Amino acid sequence: MTALPPFQSLLDDHATEVMGVLRGAVGRADAEDCFQETFLAALRAYPKLDDSGNLRGWLLTIAQRKAIDHHRANGKRPIPVEEVAEVAIEDPGPADDGVWELVGALPPKQRAAVALRYACDLPHAEIAAALGCSPEAARRSLHEGMKRLREELA
């Protein structure tokens, strides 16, 4: 086991990316709260972390959970998505060329669907659960959001 680096280095290296992902996932207005919750949770757990090998993935996983918690709290009904927290995050790549800014500008449902799919790597059923809608509606939001992004990036 390699020694844990000073927590400040996690902020220096990953805070901007975590904030970007959260802005995409929950919108600019709520991203700050989720950001604070993410890093406070990380700070709480940090000394007992066994593996310092993938700190970025660890932080993004916590951010994913906080984004889901946020959607749950705003949703109409409680949602059983306990198991997703352990899903490893697919690397969205640090260079996003401002894509997350565009994602943040999408209408809320589309924004959340795109972020949960591509930043948090959730399958459609779990996106639906997190958003409190049917899988069909989640798929439609994702489709609409992606269509709009493609148009803006074209």
Partner 1 sequence: MKGSLQRLAERADAEGLLDVAYANVDSPFGALLIAATPRGLVKVSLPAYDPEEALEELATRVSPRVLEAPARLDDARRELDLYFEGRLTEFDLPLDWQLTDGFQKKVQRAINRIPYGKTRTYTEMARSAGNERAVRAAGTACGTNPIPIVVPCHRVLRTGGALGGYGGGLPMKKALLELEGSGR
> Of 63 and 81, which has the nearer Cβ to partner 1?
63
Q: Of 6, 53, 80, 93, which one interacts with partner 1 (CB under 8 A)?
A: 6
> Of 35 and 58, which has the nearer Cβ to partner 1?
35
Q: Is 126 exposed, middle or buried (0-12, 13-18, 19+ CB in 10 A)?
A: buried
Q: Does 36 bind partner 1 (CB under 8 A)?
A: yes
H helices present in 27-134, as ranges: 28-45, 55-74, 99-104, 108-118, 124-131
Rg (CA), the chain: 15
Q: Does 46 bind partner 1 (CB under 8 A)?
A: yes
Alpha-carbon distances of 21 from 77, 78, 85, 122, 128, rounded to whole Å: 25, 24, 16, 14, 19
Distance CA 144, CA 47 (A): 42
> If binding means CB under 8 A, how many residues of this protein chain bind partner 1?
20
Q: Does 58 bind partner 1 (CB under 8 A)?
A: no
Q: Does 7 bind partner 1 (CB under 8 A)?
A: yes
- Shortest distance (Å) from residue 34 CB to partner 1: 11
> Of 40 and 125, which has the nearer Cβ to partner 1?
40
**Interface residue list for partner 1 (CB under 8 A):** 3-9, 11, 15-16, 19, 32, 35-36, 39-40, 43-44, 46-47
